Structure 1
Amino acid sequence: MKITYDSICNKLGFDPMKDKIKNGNSEDDTKRSRFAVLSLEEHEFLIDYILKHI
């Protein structure tokens, strides 16, 4: 399966470039990151995509 920005958004359940992520005032290490569902290749794709589109 080819990695696309849309496929990543669908897997995450939100658009990381448009939707605000509410974490409160501090980090909570007891909660799993919403990005933990992504593979290494999807993380790399997302980072490249965001850097090219900001």
Structure 2
Amino acid sequence: MGRLWTPNAAAWYLDIESDATVAGSAAGSVDIDPAVVMAGIGYRFQAALDTKRPGTW
């Protein structure tokens, strides 16, 4: 994609389990298992690639 554009992607699966109580009495179990997917694209501004300035990319 070149020096200025960067792709990014990630995926997570979360396994969340808990026992539910109501007024101190067991009310069952709760299972929440979401899948999260993320995709993105970033742009690095030209000033960051300026080689005349020390300490920049």
Task: Tell me if both proteins adopt one fold, taking TM over 0.5 as the criterion.
Answer: no
- In the superposition, the TM-score normalised over structure 2's length comes to 0.18
Q: Which has the higher strand share?
A: 2
TM-score by length of 1: 0.19
Which has the bigger relative contact order, CA under 8 A and spacing at least 6?
1
Q: Which has the larger radius of gyration?
A: 2
User: Which structure has the highest helix share of the two?
Assistant: 1
